[in-house]
Chain A
Amino acid sequence: MIAELGAFCCCLALALSLAQGVLGLAASNKQARAAATAAVAQSASVACFAAFACLVAEFVRSDFSVAVVAENSHVDKPLLYKIAGTWGNHEGSMLLWCMVSTLFGAALASNRGRQRISLWSRAVGIQGLVSAGALIYTLFLSNPFARLDPAPINGAGLNPLLQDPALAAHPPMLYLGYVGMSVPFSLALAALIEGRADRAWAEALRPWTLAAWTCLTLGIALGSYWAYYELGWGGWWFWDPVENASFMPWLGACALVHSAIVTERRGSLASWTILLAIMGFGLALLGTFLVRSGVLTSVHAFAVDPRRGIAVLVLLALALGSGFGLYAWRAPKLGAPAGFDPISREGMLIWNNFGLSIAAGVVLIGTLYPLIVEAAGGGLISVGPPFFNLTVAPIMALLFVALPFGPMLTWRIGDFGAALARLAPAGVLALATLGATLALCNWRAVPAIGLGLGVWLILGGVIYIVARLRRGEGRALAKLAVLPLSVWSMTLAHIGAGVLTVGAIAETQFRAERAVALAPGESVDFANRRITLMGVGEVDGPNYVATRARLRVEHGDDVEALSAEKRFYSTSPMPTTEVGILSGLDGDLYVALGEPVRDGGAAWAVRLYLNPLVQCIFGGALMMALGGLLSLIALLRRRAGAP
């Protein structure tokens, strides 16, 4: 009954979304019709929310007569993972996509801000059509409410790898980001239909791009952190096609966050901002296509169904076709932008967009290239980490060289000499870091340049804050308290990029790794630590049995206990690893338990890693996300305070 109610709500949401689309697009300047559009958008979100709640309820109740519940849940699963199981599968995650899309549509409909009615109601209408497209796909090609007859006694269980708190939060975060990019898309198309994109329009755009970027940052960081501690070899980024599928929209959103600032503050770059909004959503849809179609072989692609792939491709073609078509037709009508000097705040933001767009383009080409070669009859090739590290990393490095100059320059015409003079201490220390690393690491260029850039970004951020405090009259301490939140948030995000760079370079360039066989009581010396295997025993979990190794780690005068597990789930043939991680100032000691070795299992294979400064990677990403969140708060607070 609950499933049927859910399916009904889903159909209702589809009908309401279509109505929202037609009404919104048809609305001229009539206040009443716009109000009706908003009401329909809100109803659609309520209906879709109800549908999603029904699916969650079916998962919580373990109703195995519903096919997705039977395929992805199990009575013994902890409650948190029963709920997370709702979006841990193809059908449920598509319904989540729809729900987020309708909720965003309702939020857009509820806040007109200073936008003109016609533009705003058209944006709400386009958002309705986006939701309708996703709902059609969900209902007709991946119905989450399909029943099974006869119902099985128990479910097949969630993939054990996914039974994890970080992975419970990872998909919703990414989807908030992906779908968040649909709102700038709707606003961009509405602006094109209107034939104008003014500062009020950019003002409406900015919070959405910031929110989408923040969610994507958090979602990617969570996924990366999960890969680090769950997959058992300490890797956190592998340029996997599905990782790229989330990285491309992130790069697009990052560029959009910056270009929207120029459009809002200076009224220029409007046509580029519109194009970027269309491409950003295109990349988000492409990401969904790549993951959902299984066209790229990857561990993530859990829905391998060509019909679904074709359907997403059709939706992608519709969205991009209408977007680029409208752009080609209407963009020339947009007003001429205000001019500016290459050395200025705008100029730096253009360089930012230049670099981020090229990086996104290279990731896109690299991800799709094997498919293109195969389709052209060139056989199978692989494009992996060596390609992306060789191409994307230098682009990002150049971007980072320019980054600290951006905030230092004024709008329209900047004084490069003055900015350079202020940044000189950061530059000197960055070069010193570079030189010292070169001398200490056998003249290896990659760690030297990477660490130098990290120092440059971090100190560049600090110097910007100091420069802001020196400006104007009064005591520095008093000014510290009144420094705008937007200054702090931007600086935090930029310093976060530096911290992430330091962590990424340290971890990839200086990690130590060793595989040993240990019998209980035996010790090994590794990375200035003495590690002793105390014992190995069996432990029962809620829906698994684990083999747990207890270890003792002596590091200087510190003695700490550590455990590493292999978990065997009754629902899965492959065991999962639960590594032991001991974070110290110099990095993480990371221990993975292997198989028994020697005759009769007297000893165990243990793999040891020292991952230097690895927490800087996730800490840096968290700083960036926090910077995005604070920027969003600053933006909304300023709007609320403004008349």
Chain B
Amino acid sequence: MSLVALIVAGAAAATLGPAQEARAQGLEMEIRCVECQNEPIAQSTADIAADMRDLVRERVAAGDSDDQIRAFFRRRYGDFVLFRPPWDGRTWLLWASPLLLALIGAGAVAASLKRRPGELLSPEDDER
């Protein structure tokens, strides 16, 4: 049914240029369907996802930026709808986690590399 809706909507809604189309498709992958489990609206077969896709296309056609469209969906459906979590008091630790883990790891590696090497092995040794 979604496929029908998509085609019908595609015909009805203002046709998007190639750049806008790419943006719309990108956003549809980032916005979570509110009805089904863990699927972006781009892939969901639910009716509500088809409506949400139309909304994305409407906003893109109206000239909104990606961030404005994300904010629009967030206001309307809550944080849950964004697969890209916003940066705020709850999520800064999430976004900082790669850097924090890298710092911890670098500290551990630095500690283990302090020991000096001894004699050099012949290159043939690594064939064994």
Contact = CB atoms under 8 A, between A and B. Distances in A.
Given A597-B7, A607-B3, A362 B120 contact: no
Given A379-B79, A381-B79, A358 B37 contact: no
A517 interface: yes
A594 B3 contact: yes
Interface in B81-118: 81-85, 90-91, 94-95, 97-98, 101-102, 105-106, 109, 112-113, 115-118
B62 interface: no
Contact of A387 (B85, B90, B106, B120): B85
A339 B97 contact: no
A443 interface: no
A362 B97 contact: yes
A250 to B, nearest CB: 18
Contacts of B40: 384-385
Contacts of A354: 105-106, 109
B6 interface: yes
Given A240-B38, A339-B118, A515-B7, A362 B82 contact: no
B107 to A, nearest CB: 11
Contacts of A369: 85, 91, 94
B94 A383 contact: yes
B30 A384 contact: yes
Contacts of A378: 90
A306 B123 CA distance: 56
Nearest to A511: B25
Interface in A586-636: 594-595, 597, 605, 607
Contact of B80 (A380, A386, A412, A513): A380
A358 B102 contact: yes
A382 B82 contact: yes
B105 A358 contact: yes
Nearest to B30: A386
B63 interface: no
B101 A358 contact: yes
Contacts of B25: 513
Contacts of B84: 384, 386-387
Contacts of A357: 101, 105
Given A233-B43, A362-B97, A339 B80 contact: no
B57 interface: no
A435 interface: no
B1 interface: yes
Given A337-B115, A411-B121, A362 B38 contact: no
A516 interface: yes
Nearest to B29: A385
A345 interface: yes
Contacts of A391: 97-98
Contacts, number: 139
A410 B126 CA distance: 7
A102 interface: no
A21 B121 CA distance: 42
Interface string A39-70: 00000000000000000000000000000000
A80 interface: no
A361 B101 contact: yes
Q: How large is the interface on B (under 10, 10 to 19, 20 to 34, 35 or more residues)?
A: 35 or more
Contacts of B128: 265
B32 A382 contact: yes
A298 B37 contact: yes
A344 B123 contact: no
Contacts of B7: 515-517, 597, 605
B86 to A, nearest CB: 8
A411 B125 contact: yes
Contacts of B79: 379-382
A342 B113 contact: yes
A461 to B, nearest CB: 16
Interface string A339-381: 1111011010010001001100110011001000100101111
B100 to A, nearest CB: 9
A484 interface: yes
B117 A413 contact: yes
Nearest to A366: B94
Contacts of B78: 379-380
A161 to B, nearest CB: 13
Interface in A373-419: 373, 376, 378-387, 391, 395, 410-413
A475 interface: no
A460 interface: no
B127 interface: yes
A384 B83 contact: yes
B127 A484 contact: yes
A445 B29 CA distance: 19
Given A362-B97, A381-B90, A337 B112 contact: yes
A564 to B, nearest CB: 12
A338 interface: yes
Nearest to B105: A354
A342 B119 CA distance: 15
A196 to B, nearest CB: 19
A30 interface: no
- The CB with the most chain A CB atoms within 10 A, among B7, B30, B95, is that of B7
Interface string B12-40: 00000000000001000110100001101
B3 A595 contact: yes
8 contacts: A345-B126, A376-B90, A381-B90, A382-B80, A385-B29, A515-B3, A595-B4, A597-B7
Given A233-B42, A358-B105, A383-B85, 14 more contacts: A299-B38, A337-B112, A344-B117, A347-B113, A350-B113, A358-B98, A381-B82, A383-B94, A384-B84, A385-B29, A411-B125, A471-B123, A487-B127, A595-B3
Nearest 3 CB-CB pairings of A with B: A384-B83, A594-B3, A339-B115
